[in-house]
Chain A
Amino acid sequence: MSNLVALVPLVIFLALALAVSLVVRHRAHAAGGGFVKEYFIGNRALGGFVLAMTTIATYGSVSSFVGGPGQAWLVGWGWVYMAVVQVTALVLLYGILGKKMALVSRKLDAVTVIDVIRARYSSNALANVSAVVVVLFFAATMVAQFVGGAKLFEAVTGYSYLVGLVLFGVAVVLFTTIGGFRGVAVTDAICGVAMLIGIFVLAAGILAAGGGYENIMDTIRTNRPEMLEPFGGGSMPASLYFTQWLLVGIFTFVLPQSAVRCMGFKNTKALHGAMIMGTVIIGLMMIGVTSLGVLSAGVLTGDLASYGGSVDNIIPQAIAQTLPPWLAGVAIIGPIAASISTVSSLLIASSSAIIKDVYLHHCESSGKKPTERTIARSSQAVTLCVGAIVFVLAIVPPDVIWKINMFAFGGLETAFFWVLVCGLFWKRAGKWGALLSMTGGTASYCLCMALGFKVMGLHQIVIGITVAGALMMAGSLFGRRDAADEQRMCEVFFPE
């Protein structure tokens, strides 16, 4: 179906995103203020709606739109029951980290999560390790997002993988470079709306093709009754529910790309509004899109082999089979928006880690003072370069989207959970604990993932978090600490 009509909605959408980032840049330029604070944290000016949307769009990735619903097609409603745990994400993020990150980052004039970590633990080594972890995992995730988006594009439009990648890959790298954090936040909001529209359009297509909701449910009951059981006839064991609660529910609030959003909002009203709005929208999105996977079983009634043997083909098939070309073109904006909104946020965060946390810090400690102009130039150059590298990596795609994404997800959670939570809420937490927790926890998580080693059949996140927590305890209780550092830290983090 190599059809030009299917491209029009996507091209319009990408042009809109580019135009918006240009406007945002122009306005920010006119408003003045320091470049770093504007480019990497948008002068802490996010309102409630944009804050909610940028958090959701960053969190909702192409795997929420393709891999997840594909699994739901295979497993049934149990997969939706598991996906619903994601509705807690924004309550936890804003409720636990929101105000503390906002207060602390204003006090420290911090622009990145790593700034906060450096100040909390008085450790440059920890800050550097954090920067490496962030850039490494973010890069892997970005590649996976590009690959997922381009594969979907190829499957639905009939144009080649490369055409898709060039189209939205170039757009996202450009608008992130141009717009900075504020541009990313605003385009994220547009992406979020596009994701919702994509879900509604596809829902209409599937429901119409399947003869209505009740009819589809009857078809499923006849063909695959196990899809209506919470354990999915054995494919959804209780242990999976438990670890998914940890992996995509409870621990998500420490992901640095989420936590940084708590440093960018305008006032407490924005935060409170975002918490309510965001919880409504994230539920609509995650429950909606995953349910569509299940419902497509009423339309795509063959076995997995007849759809190319991969659950990643289910949603593209559902789009192509149930919608006319121009509507299919609207529907693919959803997953592609999910892909680019995740990439843009990770890209600006990677760039901030390299420029702010490594380069500018190095300048500061060696007494150099780069001009505002140099900083502006190099920040944009780094954003562009990282984007270009990721883009090139995505041309020859690695295989499993879902796995790579999940690897990075758990890795980041292991690295940052105790470091952030103890950093903000446990006064005794010290630099040795944090260093050991981040390095030891992440290393053990990755090693167990790579070897496929599990305890009691539970996902490796359990091992990672346990090891990281134990190391944080041990290192903090026994590690040496500097009294002067301690006092400076307490004034900001634990005032009395």
Chain B
Amino acid sequence: MGDPSIRSYCGKMRQANKEARATVIALACIIVVWLVGGFGLAGSDIQVFHTPLWIIGGCVAPWIAAIVAAVVLSRRVFVDFDLDDDAAISGAACEEVARHE
């Protein structure tokens, strides 16, 4: 199942670290969208459906950004692997993964 290089427990834990780091980067992107879409557009006089633009940029855009982040993370960054520990693959495989990287 999934990437063959991620079969040992250690390889899976390393992948989990990588995914956590990517998530923090995604958070930073969402915050930027929130700042720009809301406060950034607060000075604009444009209205859509009788609604000032910053309300749409601040209240809807960050949500869309979070959905995009979730899709990109889970499709591109996160890897499927078996969560149960495969005892057959021991520490040796782990070093192999390290070399592989």
Which residue numbers of A lie inside 8 Å of B, CB to CB? 77, 80-81, 84-85, 87-88, 90-92, 95-96, 98-100, 102-103, 106-107, 213-214, 217-218, 221, 228-230, 245, 250, 267-269, 271-273, 275-276, 278-280, 283, 287, 291, 425, 494-496
Contact = CB atoms under 8 A, between A and B. Distances in A.
Contact of B80 (A103, A229, A272): A272
Contacts of B60: 287
Name the residue among B12, B52, B70 with the largest chain A CB count within 10 angstroms.
Answer: B70
B55 A81 contact: yes
Nearest to B98: A496
B10 A496 contact: yes
A230 B39 contact: yes
A221 B69 CA distance: 34
Interface string B45-60: 0000111101100111
Given A80-B59, A95-B20, A217-B50, 16 more contacts: A84-B59, A84-B63, A85-B62, A87-B62, A88-B27, A90-B70, A91-B23, A99-B16, A100-B16, A103-B13, A272-B78, A275-B73, A278-B70, A279-B70, A494-B13, A495-B13
12 contacts: A84-B63, A91-B73, A95-B23, A95-B73, A96-B23, A213-B50, A217-B49, A228-B55, A230-B42, A272-B75, A287-B59, A495-B13
Given A99-B16, A106-B84, A283 B55 contact: no
Contact of B67 (A103, A279, A291): A279
Contacts of B15: 99
Given A84-B58, A217-B50, A91 B34 contact: no
A137 to B, nearest CB: 25
A102 B49 CA distance: 45
Nearest to A44: B83
A102 B19 contact: no
Contacts of B81: 268
B14 to A, nearest CB: 9
Contact of B94 (A99, A100, A495): A495
A87 B70 CA distance: 11
A127 B4 CA distance: 37
Contact of A495 (B2, B9, B73, B83): B9
B64 to A, nearest CB: 8
Contacts of A218: 50
B85 interface: yes
Interface of B: 2, 9-10, 12-13, 15-17, 19-20, 22-24, 26-27, 30-31, 34, 38-39, 42, 49-52, 54-55, 58-60, 62-63, 66-67, 69-71, 73-75, 78-85, 91, 94
Query: B-side binding surface: helix, strand, loop or mixed?
Result: helix
Contacts of A88: 27, 30, 66
A202 B33 CA distance: 29
B62 A425 contact: no
A19 B4 CA distance: 44
A80 B63 CA distance: 12
B42 A268 contact: no
B66 A103 contact: no
Name the residue among A100, A278, A494 with the largest chain B CB count within 10 angstroms.
Answer: A100
A313 to B, nearest CB: 24
Nearest to A93: B23
A278 B63 CA distance: 11
A84 B62 CA distance: 7
B51 A217 contact: yes
Contacts of A85: 34, 62
B13 A214 contact: no
A428 to B, nearest CB: 15
Nearest to A266: B83
Contacts of B26: 91, 95
A273 B63 CA distance: 17
A279 B49 CA distance: 25
Contacts of B63: 84, 87, 279, 283, 287
Contact of B12 (A103, A217, A267): A103
A81 B38 contact: yes
A107 B82 CA distance: 13
B17 A425 contact: yes
Contact of A91 (B49, B69, B79, B91): B69
B58 A230 contact: yes
A81 B15 CA distance: 34
A272 B83 CA distance: 13
Contacts of A250: 27
